Amino acid sequence: MPKTVADVMSRDPIVVRPETPLKEAIQILAERHISGLPVVEQTGKLVGVISETDLMWQEKGVTPPAYIMFLDSVIYLQNPATFERDLHKSLGQTVGEVMTQDAITITEEKPLREAAALMHERNVRRLPVIDKNAQVIGILTRGDIVRAMASEVD
């Protein structure tokens, strides 16, 4: 019988809230040797994910978008809204200011093969596992999938 997400996921993952100070989230990631955390509101509903990628803006900073002047008008060569979002991330002090809001998720009854395909297609390292109320009930990582594959080889 094919394995499901529920067979492999880690239950009761470490989560943070949007108001969690960024320094605290960074400390959790470093101490636990993990690359990302689900972000939940007070009720436990998923509102985003904070990952190492989101934190890179803190060190990298942002560059203003290129523009040209033409007849006393400014014409941006890149979308200025993207610059504003990136600037907000680079200056953020809480998880909510830096997190990725549109988290890619999966439910526990899905086949593990489907989860692996989704992670590969969307190039994500982890999938928060949610129930029908968008409550985080687990997390599935690439490592979990590899360990499941290794257990089948034995």
From 57, 46, 58, 56, select the one nearest 126 (Cα to Cα): 46
Task: Give the total number of structural domains in the chain.
Answer: 1
Q: Which tens digit of pLDDT belongs to each residue from 59-108?
A: 655 555 555 676 766 665 566 566 565 645 555 688 998 899 989 999 99
pLDDT at residue 132 greater than cutoff 60? yes
Q: Is 134 left (phi over 0), alpha (psi -120 to 50) or beta?
A: left
pTM over 0.95: no
How far, CA to CA in Å, does 5 sit from each of 28, 59, 108, 121? 25, 35, 5, 17
CATH number, domain of 40, equals: 3.10.580.10
> Residue 5 — pLDDT band, cuts 50, 70, 90?
very high
CA-CA distance, 29 to 58, in Å (whole number)? 15
Tell me the residue range of the domain where 138 lies. 5-153
Cβ proximity of 101 and 11 under 8 Å: no
